[in-house]
Structure 1
Amino acid sequence: MYPKTFRSTLLLGAGLTALLTAPASAQDETTSETLTPATTPRLEQASNDIIVTARRRSESAQDIPLAVSVIDAKQLDETGAFNVGRLQQLAPTLQFYSSNPRNTAVNIRGLGVPFGLTSDGFEQGVGIYVDDVYYSRVASATFDFLDVAQIEVLRGPQGTLYGKNTTAGAINITTNQPSFDFEGKAEISLGNFAFRQARLAISGPLTERVAARVAFSGTSRAGTIRNVTTGEDIQSLDNLGLRAQVLWEAADNLKITLVGDYNKQDANCCGSVFVHTGTTQRPLNRQFAALAAAQNYAPPSTNPFDRLSDLDSQLNAGNVIAGASLRAVWDIGPGTFTSVTAWRYWDWKPENDRDFTGLSIVALSQNPSQQDQYTQEFRYAYSGTAIDFVIGAFAFDQRIDTQGTEAQGRAASRWNIAPNNPLSLDPSVLDGLTARNTQFLESTSLALFGQLSWKVTDAFTIQPGARVNYDKKKGFYQRRVFTGAGVELLGTETDARSRAQLAVFQPQVSAPEDTDWNVTYDLTLSYALAPDVLAYGAYARSFKTIGINQNGLPTDANGQPIAAAGTIRPETVDHFEIGLKSQFWDRRATLNVAAFRTDIRDYQATVINGEFGVLRGFLANAEKVRSQGVEVDFSVRPSERFTAYVSGAYTDAQYVRFVDAPCPPELSGGTTAAPGQTPSAPGTPGGISPANCDISGQRLPGVSEWAFSFGAEGNLPATFLGKPGRVYLGYDGSYRSDFSSNPSPSAFTNVNGYHLSNFRLGFRADDGLNLFAWVRNAFDANYFEQLFVGPGSTGLIAGLPGDPRTWGATASITF
Structure 2
Amino acid sequence: MNKGTGSCLRAYLMSCAALAGLLATAAATAQEGAPAGEGERAVDTITVTARRREESLIDVPVAMTVQSAEALDLSGATDITALQRNTPNLTLQVARATNSTLTAFIRGIGQQDPLWGFEPGIGLYIDDVYVARPQGAILDILDIERVEVLRGPQGTLYGRNTIGGAIKFVTARLDDQPTFSVRTNLGEYNQRDLIVSGSAPLSDGLRVGGALGVYRRDGYGTNLWNGADIGNRESFSARLTVEFEPAPDWFFRLTADRLDDDSNANPGHRELPVPAAFGAPPITTPFGINVPAGAFPVTDDVYDSWAGVDETNEVINQGVSLTGEWTVNDHLTFKTVTAWRDGETHGEGIDFDGTPAPILDVLAPETVYDDDQFSQEFQLLFDNDRWRGVAGVYYLDAYASGGYDTVLGIGAAAIPGSPTPNFTQGTSGHVDTTSLAAFGEFDFDLADRWTLTLGGRWTRDEKTGRVFKANYLGLGSPVSGTPNTPIQILTDYTAERAFEEFTPRIGLSYRISDTLNAYVSYGRGFKSGGFDMRGDAAATPATMDGYDPETVDSLEFGLKGYLFDDRVRFSAAIFNASYDGQQVTSQQVNTVGTGLVSFIDNVGSSTIRGAELEAQARLGGGFSLDLALGYVDAAFDEYLAYVPNGSPPPAYVLADVSDARQFQNTPDWNGSLALNHHSDDVIGGMLDLRAAVSWRGDSSMFETPAPEIDQEAYSLVDASAVWTSGSGRWRAGLHARNLTDERYRTGGYYFPGLAYGDSIIGFYGPPRTVFASLEYRY
Q: Secondary structure at the match of 1:751?
A: coil
Q: Which amino acid aligns with 2:741?
A: D
Note the alpha carbon deviations across 1:39-58, whole angstroms, 9 max, x for none: xxxxxx87611111111111
Are residue 642 (structure 1) and residue 623 (structure 2) matched? yes
What residue in structure 2 maps to residue 89 of structure 1? Answer: 85
What residue in structure 1 maps to residue 215 of structure 2? Answer: 219
Q: 1:704 to 1:542 in 2, by over 3 A?
A: same
What residue in structure 2 maps to residue 734 of structure 1? Answer: 694
Note the C-alpha offset of 1:639: 5.0
Q: 1:655 to 1:304 in 2, by over 3 A?
A: farther
Q: Secondary structure at the match of 1:77?
A: helix
Q: Which amino acid aligns with 1:346?
A: G
Q: C-alpha distance in 1, partners of 2:63/2:332?
A: 26
Q: C-alpha distance in 2, partners of 1:727/1:449?
A: 46
Q: 1:78 to 1:617 in 2, by over 3 A?
A: farther
Q: 1:698 to 1:691 in 2, by over 3 A?
A: closer
Q: Secondary structure at the match of 1:568?
A: coil
Note the C-alpha offset of 1:474: 0.2
Are residue 609 (structure 1) and residue 595 (structure 2) matched? no
- In 1, are the aligned partners of 2:256 and 2:320 still within 8 Å (CA)? yes
Q: C-alpha distance in 1, partners of 2:543/2:676?
A: 57
Q: Secondary structure at the match of 1:112?
A: strand
Note the C-alpha offset of 1:352: 1.5
Note the C-alpha offset of 1:101: 5.5
Q: Which amino acid aligns with 2:277?
A: L
What residue in structure 1 maps to residue 443 of structure 2? Answer: 453
Note the alpha carbon deviations across 1:757-777, whole angstroms, 9 max, x for none: 111123111212111111111
Q: C-alpha distance in 1, partners of 2:152/2:477?
A: 53
Note the C-alpha offset of 1:802: 1.8
Q: 1:639 to 1:364 in 2, by over 3 A?
A: same
Q: C-alpha distance in 2, partners of 1:627/1:778?
A: 33
- In 1, are the aligned partners of 2:42 and 2:618 still within 8 Å (CA)? no
Aligned partner of 2:188 among 186, 192, 203: 192
- In 1, are the aligned partners of 2:676 and 2:688 still within 8 Å (CA)? yes
- In 1, are the aligned partners of 2:106 and 2:164 still within 8 Å (CA)? yes
Note the alpha carbon deviations across 1:136-173, whole angstroms, 9 max, x for none: 11224223232111000001111211256411110011
- In 2, are the aligned partners of 1:390 and 1:451 still within 8 Å (CA)? yes
Q: 1:661 to 1:102 in 2, by over 3 A?
A: farther
Mean alpha-carbon deviation: is it higher for 310-319 or for 603-612? 603-612
Q: Secondary structure at the match of 1:711?
A: strand
Aligned partner of 1:346 among 343, 347, 352: 343
Aligned ranges 1:517-596 → 2 under 5 Å: 517-556=500-539, 562-563=541-542, 565-596=544-575
Aligned ranges 1:622-633 → 2 under 5 Å: 622-633=603-614
Q: Secondary structure at the match of 1:162?
A: coil
What residue in structure 2 maps to residue 673 of structure 1? Answer: 646
Q: 1:596 to 1:764 in 2, by over 3 A?
A: same
Q: Secondary structure at the match of 2:109?
A: coil
- In 2, are the aligned partners of 1:274 and 1:299 still within 8 Å (CA)? no
Are residue 106 (structure 1) and residue 85 (structure 2) matched? no
Q: Secondary structure at the match of 2:84?
A: helix
Are residue 272 (structure 1) and residue 253 (structure 2) matched? no
Note the C-alpha offset of 1:661: 5.7
Q: C-alpha distance in 2, partners of 1:487/1:173?
A: 41
Note the C-alpha offset of 1:482: 4.3
Note the C-alpha offset of 1:407: 4.1
Note the C-alpha offset of 1:130: 0.5
Q: Secondary structure at the match of 1:478?
A: strand
Note the alpha carbon deviations across 1:518-577, whole angstroms, 9 max, x for none: 101110100011221111001112211122212333433xxxx61455311111211100
What residue in structure 2 maps to residue 327 of structure 1? Answer: 323
Aligned ranges 1:695-714 → 2 under 5 Å: 695-696=658-659, 698-714=661-677
Note the C-alpha offset of 1:223: 1.1
Note the C-alpha offset of 1:299: 3.3
Aligned partner of 1:757 among 706, 711, 717: 717
- In 2, are the aligned partners of 1:102 and 1:118 still within 8 Å (CA)? no
Q: Which amino acid aligns with 1:530?
A: S
Are residue 510 (structure 1) and residue 493 (structure 2) matched? yes
Note the C-alpha offset of 1:745: 2.1
Q: 1:762 to 1:389 in 2, by over 3 A?
A: closer
- In 2, are the aligned partners of 1:157 and 1:169 still within 8 Å (CA)? yes
- In 2, are the aligned partners of 1:751 and 1:784 still within 8 Å (CA)? yes
Q: Secondary structure at the match of 2:708?
A: helix
Q: Secondary structure at the match of 1:627?
A: strand
Note the C-alpha offset of 1:317: 3.3
What residue in structure 2 maps to residue 778 of structure 1? Answer: 739
Note the alpha carbon deviations across 1:94-118, whole angstroms, 9 max, x for none: 11241125864211011122x4x33
Note the C-alpha offset of 1:337: 1.0
Q: C-alpha distance in 2, partners of 1:608/1:420?
A: 22
Note the C-alpha offset of 1:188: 0.7
Q: C-alpha distance in 2, partners of 1:647/1:712?
A: 12
Aligned ranges 1:104-143 → 2 under 5 Å: 104-113=102-111, 115=112, 117-143=113-139
Note the C-alpha offset of 1:614: 4.1
Note the C-alpha offset of 1:132: 0.3
What residue in structure 2 maps to residue 308 of structure 1? Answer: 304
Q: Secondary structure at the match of 1:54?
A: coil
Note the alpha carbon deviations across 1:5-24, whole angstroms, 9 max, x for none: xxxxxxxxxxxxxxxxxxxx
Note the alpha carbon deviations across 1:557-600, whole angstroms, 9 max, x for none: xxxx6145531111121110001112022322112110001111
Q: C-alpha distance in 2, partners of 1:486/1:234?
A: 25
- In 1, are the aligned partners of 2:363 and 2:405 still within 8 Å (CA)? yes
Are residue 298 (structure 1) and residue 298 (structure 2) matched? no
- % identity of equivalent residues: 27
What residue in structure 1 maps to residue 462 of structure 2? Answer: 472
What residue in structure 2 maps to residue 400 of structure 1? Answer: 400
Q: C-alpha distance in 2, partners of 1:632/1:394?
A: 34
Q: Secondary structure at the match of 1:86?
A: helix
Note the C-alpha offset of 1:182: 1.0
- In 1, are the aligned partners of 2:507 and 2:519 still within 8 Å (CA)? yes
Q: 1:165 to 1:80 in 2, by over 3 A?
A: farther
Report the aligned-residue RMSD.
2.8
TM-score after normalising by structure 2: 0.86
- In 1, are the aligned partners of 2:522 and 2:554 still within 8 Å (CA)? yes
Q: C-alpha distance in 1, partners of 2:633/2:363?
A: 36
Aligned ranges 1:32-51 → 2 under 5 Å: 48-51=44-47
What residue in structure 1 maps to residue 8 of structure 2? Answer: none
Q: C-alpha distance in 1, partners of 2:697/2:645?
A: 35
Q: Secondary structure at the match of 1:220?
A: strand
Q: 1:163 to 1:562 in 2, by over 3 A?
A: farther
Note the C-alpha offset of 1:405: 3.8
Note the alpha carbon deviations across 1:287-330, whole angstroms, 9 max, x for none: x524344664433435454x321101111331001110000011
- In 2, are the aligned partners of 1:710 and 1:732 still within 8 Å (CA)? yes
Q: 1:762 to 1:390 in 2, by over 3 A?
A: closer
- In 2, are the aligned partners of 1:741 and 1:750 still within 8 Å (CA)? yes
Q: C-alpha distance in 1, partners of 2:475/2:772?
A: 55
Q: C-alpha distance in 1, partners of 2:167/2:52?
A: 13
Q: Secondary structure at the match of 1:291?
A: helix
Aligned partner of 2:275 among 284, 289, 292: 289
Q: C-alpha distance in 1, partners of 2:124/2:475?
A: 46
Q: C-alpha distance in 1, partners of 2:299/2:60?
A: 52
Note the C-alpha offset of 1:479: 3.2
Note the alpha carbon deviations across 1:254-302, whole angstroms, 9 max, x for none: 000110111100011221112237xxxxxxxxxx524344664433435
Q: Which amino acid aligns with 2:125?
A: Y
Q: Which amino acid aligns with 2:108?
A: G
Q: C-alpha distance in 1, partners of 2:508/2:595?
A: 51
Gaps of 5+ in 2: 1-40, 282-292, 480-484
Q: Which amino acid aligns with 1:442?
A: D
Note the C-alpha offset of 1:418: 4.5
What residue in structure 2 maps to residue 233 of structure 1? Answer: 229
